[in-house]
Amino acid sequence: MSPHAAPTLAPTPARALLVAAALALAAGCSTPASTPASTPASVQAQPGAPAGKPTPPSTTGTATARTTAPVLDVTGFPRRGASPGSGAATPDVSATPTAAAGSSRHTAEGSCSARIVEGLTPEQRVGQLVMVGIARGREDDARRAIAERSIGNAFFIGGWRDRGQVAEVSRRLQRAADESGHGLDLLVAADQEGGRVQQLKGEGFRRLPSAVEQAALPPDELRALATDAGRELRAAGVNLNLAPVADTVSPELGRANAPIGGLSRQYATEPGAVSTPVSAVVAGLHAAGVGATLKHFPGLGRVRANTDHSATGIDDTQTTADDAYLQPFADGIAAGADVVMMSTARYRRIDPATQAAFSRPVVTGVLRERLGYDGVVATDDLGGAEAIQHIPTGERAVRFVRAGGDVAVTGIARDGRVMSRALLAESRRDRAFAGLVRRAAQRVVELKVRRGLARCG
């Protein structure tokens, strides 16, 4: 398979702002932390801006503020041997979206993660690029993948009803990671959006309202709700929430939009009204010491079918590379989101031939270059999802990393082993691909350093 070339972006005023913001960020890397603002980036078009394009927030305000989240282990207590300053950094959400949360090449975390990745074996490197499902009753499948293939990430899927049980499984999986010898803890995640999508329920987990209901709350109340939910996750050994949903559902589709609108997973049908709750949830999770994931880039709000259940009806014929519907993702990035999850739909006006998770024009061209995001990029499910069944299991992970991605997610733990082997084989065959693996592993490890899941020195 030959990867798509990244599009050449012509100089524009927005690109000039990107450069200026990047220089400002570099100059401020060592600035002491200050209190972050809470106003989301504006999506209003400024005079003279092309209609329908997201407008970056003004860069004339205060410099990006960074705060330090508590450094916690999987039980919610301070992590052994962790430096108080190695917690997650949360940028001011009023900063320009191009000064992305993951853009930390100038930080101590970046040099630390590079040293860690240098010390990993090739098998351990590719293991950091896979996340496997933890299904109730099949926990040993995940444990074996972690212990035998050095898989570096896992997430809980369906049927979990007790926080104590979830916490015990989290501890067992972290012990398996310890035994693999790479010194890196797992990213342990869960889909804890609220409403119809809440994987952890029962004792120790409150019922969370749907996104539609959450959007009716004042931002401060929503942030507090997200903090409370994050504390429950942290107490269960979960350090990454696969939320919030940053998709804007087209008002023309509404509930006919099966993956989002049909399940009340959307905050609103207008991008500006989506940005505010997205930023509030990111901030609330960070206050609890839990990471946040924006999904499903570049948006599932304009398709009819659910990619989990269908390989047809998943074409978006409207979204462009500078679409207004991208603004909630830009604002979530500016708010400090830790991960961006890719859709497996197809976006005809960006890359008509390739599904988003495997598309270099989408992952690298739009997300990394246009929005300036240099953090961890993950996939939607690459295991049982119907939309990707035509691609061999291992090839799914290889295509994703070639597109510029980092973590291939599969709900089927056995598939994680197949993906790991495919990534290793391709990195041995293709030197350029080995470089992509190294850079992806560094982004994952850098996130772990910030979240207290890896240590330097």
CA atoms within 13 A on the CB side of 357: 30
Q: Are strands 346-347 and 315-316 parallel, antiparallel or unpaired?
A: parallel
Assign 425 to helix, strand or coil: helix
| Alpha-carbon distances, residue 132 vs 118, 154, 172, 355, 451 (angstroms) | 24, 5, 15, 21, 19
Q: Catalytic: 415?
A: no
**Of the listed 106, 162, 228, 309, which one is catalytic?**
309
For residue 254 the two structure tokens come to: 């509404």
Question: CA-to-CA distance for 21 and 176, rounded, in angstroms?
Answer: 42
Contact 343, 296 (CB under 8 A): yes
Helix ranges (H only) for 236-265 are: none
Q: Which of 294, 287, 273, 164 is nearest to 226 (CA)?
A: 287
Q: Which two tokens stand for residue 42?
A: 């504006």
- Spell out the residues 6+ positions from residue 12 whose beta carbon is closer than 8 angstroms to its own: none
* 108 alpha carbon, distance to own chain's centre: 22
Tell me, yes or no, if 182 is annotated catalytic. Answer: no
Active site residue: 380, 381, 406, 415, which one?
380
Using alpha carbons only, give the angle 285, 287, 293 rounded to the nearest 5 degrees.
25
Q: CA 201, CA 291: separation in Å to the nearest integer?
A: 19
Q: What are phi and psi of 269, to 5 degrees?
A: -110, 15
Q: Answer whether 89's CB lies under 8 Å from 101's CB.
A: yes
Q: Is 39 exposed, middle or buried (0-12, 13-18, 19+ CB in 10 A)?
A: middle
Q: Which residues are catalytic?
A: 309, 380
